[in-house]
Amino acid sequence: MGLTMVEAGIANPFNLARQRSLTFLVDSGAVYTVIPRAELESLGIRPTRERTFYLANGQPVRREMGEARITFRDESATCVVLFGEEGDKNLLGVTTLENLGLIFDPMRQEIMSLPMLIAQIRQQFGALS
């Protein structure tokens, strides 16, 4: 697991004029991006669902989820985010990085472009048995 701090933009995906910049901890062990509830609500972002997550000590916690437009460097994507509660850190999760075409290298402690692969299936035409 690796850690580093970055600045990224967050916006309401339905009204991009409602945006701001925040400092995030990039944690290669964090799946989802966590943004304080007050920040998301001030941008007009509302929760769409809720899930149970587990803290490092095994304690279950419920968090609401929604969608925000995340911008980092020259990349931007709409991503699932968690509504952070008191005590939660601003985290930039691995799913957000992947949506942006990026990956965190924990050895170098830096964010790099993710090699983009695409699978191609060629269908054989002819008689089927």
- Judged by DSSP in three states, 38 sits in helix
- As a whole number, the mean pLDDT across the chain is 89
State yes or no: pLDDT of 127 exceeds 90.
Answer: no
Residues 31-42 pLDDT 10s: 999 999 999 999
Q: Which amino acid is at 61?
A: V
Beta bridge partners of 21: 9
Residues 97-117 pLDDT 10s: 999 999 888 778 888 887 766
Q: Look at residues 60, 70, 64 and name the one whose alpha carbon lies nearest to residue 102.
A: 70
- Domain regions of the chain by residue span: 3-113
Q: Look at residues 117, 113, 107 and name the one whose alpha carbon lies nearest to residue 1.
A: 107
CATH of domain 3-113: 2.40.70.10
At residue 48, φ and ψ (nearest 5 deg) are -115, -15
